[in-house]
Amino acid sequence: MSNDIQDLKQPLAKANAGLDSVHVFAPATVANVVCGFDVLGFAVNEPGDEVVMRRTNKPGISISKITGDNGRLPMDPAKNTVSVSVEHYLKSVGRLDVGVDIELHKKMPIGSGLGSSSASTVAGLYAIKTLLGDDSNPAKLLPFAMKGEELACGHGHADNVAPALFGGFVLIRSYEPLDVVRLPHPKDLWCAIVFPDVDVPTREARQIIRNKINMKDAVTQWGNIAGLVSGLFMQDIDLIGRSMQDVLVEPVRSMLIPDFYEMRKMAMDLGAVSFGISGSGPSVFAFTRDEQTARLITGKLKQHLNSIKIGANTYVSTINDAGPRVIG
C-alpha cells in the first residue's frame, strides 16, 4: 500500500463521471487501540459524518451548511478541515478550475476521541474523488487527509484518517516515508464504545504525554504492540486482550476521564476482552466476543456515568471493513 501513497503526478483529465452532486458517509475510528499510540487504529460502523458536495459554476470551494456542530466549526473554507484537504487534492490533480459547494453533517460528537475531524475530512475527499470520476487508488487521498488532521489538532497523524479511509484495522509502520499496512482481524470481534459528556481537547491530551520514557516501559510497550498485531493475524482474541495494555499514555490520559479505572473494572467483570481509551478520549472502548456482551457493557457504563451526573452516548459495532461510501 505504501507505494500508492504519493502525490498524483499527472493532472486529472477534465472529463468526469457526469455527477453534479454526491452524498458520502465516512466512519468514526478508534485510534491507538490502547498500546499503539499514533500507529494503530480501526474503523467502526457507527457513528460517522456525512458530506454532500455539489458542483458550482465558479471555481473554488464554498461551504453552505454545517449541521450537528452547535456552531463550533468554521464556515470559512480556509479554516475548515474538509475544504482545506479538498483544496490540497484539487491542486495535486491540477483541477483548480473546479468549483464545489460543501454541506457537512456532523453525525458524531466533536472532541469525542472517535476521529470526528477525520471522518469529516475523509468524507469530503471521497466525495470530490467520486465527483470528478477519479478512479485512482483511494490510498492517494491519505496525505491530503493528514493535512486536515494537522489543521484540526496541530499534528498530522494518520491513525484516525487511515482506518476511516481504508476501513478495517490499520498499522502506520512509518510516517517518513509514509507506510500504512492493513491488518486482518477476527470477524467476531465486537466493539463497545462509551462517550462521556466531558471535554478533553485533543491538543491538551497530547500536551500532557511524556516526551521521554525509560527503557523498561519501552520494552513492555513494544511487546504489547507486537502481541496485539500477532493476535490479529492469528485470530487469537485471548492474545489480543492480553496485549492491550499501555504503560506510556493511558496512565496520564486516564486522569482526564472521570472514573476511568472504575469503568474498566466494570467492563472486564462483565466479560470484556480488553478496555481502553479511544484516541485522546474521553471516549472509552471495550472489545468483546459477541454483541450481547458489548451492549451489556455500554448499558452498565452509561448507567454508572449517569449516576455521577455525567451524560453519555453509546455505540456497538463490529470493525468496519468498508470505509467511506456513497449513500442516498
Q: Examine residue 282 and say whether the peptide bond preceding it is cis (omega within 30 degrees of 0).
A: yes
Half-sphere CA count of 299, side-chain side, radius 13 A: 7
pLDDT of 321 reads 98
Query: Each residue of 140-188: pLDDT tens digit?
Result: 999 999 998 888 776 778 999 999 999 999 999 999 999 999 999 999 9
pLDDT at site 205:
60
Please tell me what DSSP assigns to residue 319: B
Domain 2-182+321-326 has CATH 3.40.50.2000: no
Tens of pLDDT, residue by residue over 189-208, are 999 999 999 987 666 666 66
Give the single-character DSSP code of 186.
-
3-class secondary-structure state, position 166: helix
How do residues 228-278 score in pLDDT, each as one tens digit?
999 999 999 999 999 999 999 999 999 999 999 999 999 999 999 999 999
When pLDDT is cut at 50, 70 and 90, the band that residue 8 belongs to is: very low
Distance, in Å, from the CA atom of 78 to the CA atom of 237, rounded to the nearest integer, reads 45
Whole-angstrom distance, CA of residue 184 vs CA of residue 80: 33
Q: What percent of the chain has pLDDT over 90?
A: 84
Q: What is the pLDDT of residue 151?
A: 84
Predicted pLDDT of residue 228: 99
- pLDDT at position 196, please? 97
Write out the three cell numbers for 20: 453534479
Binding site, annotated residues for ATP: 109-119
Q: In 139-278, where do the E strands start and end?
A: 169-175, 178-183, 190-196, 274-277
Which phi and psi (to 5°) does residue 180 adopt? -110, 130
For residues 252 and 210, is the Cβ–Cβ distance under 8 A? yes
Please report how many Cα atoms fall inside a 13 Å half-sphere around the Cα of residue 111, on the Cβ side: 16
Nearest Cα to Cα of residue 148 among 82, 102, 203, 69: 82
φ/ψ of residue 275, rounded to 5? -155, 140
Instruction: Provide the residue ranges of all domains of the chain, joining segments of one domain with +.
Output: 2-182+321-326, 190-318
Nearest partner of 34 among 169, 224, 174, 220, judged by Cα: 224
CATH 3.30.70.1230 assigned to 190-318: no
Per-residue pLDDT band at 6 (split at 50, 70, 90): very low
Query: Are 2-182+321-326 and 190-318 equal in CATH topology?
Result: no
Under 8 Å between Cβ of 23 and 116: no
Give the active site residues.
149, 202
How many other CB atoms are found less than 10 A from the CB of residue 290? 12
Q: What letter represents residue 272's amino acid?
A: A
pLDDT single digits (tens) 13-53: 454 446 899 999 999 999 999 999 999 999 999 999 999 99
Backbone angles phi, psi at 190, to 5 degrees: -110, 155
Q: Which residues are annotated as a binding site?
A: 109-119
Is pLDDT at 11 greater than 90 in this prediction?
A: no
> Rounded to an integer, what distance in angstroms lies between the CA atom of residue 82 and that of residue 117?
8
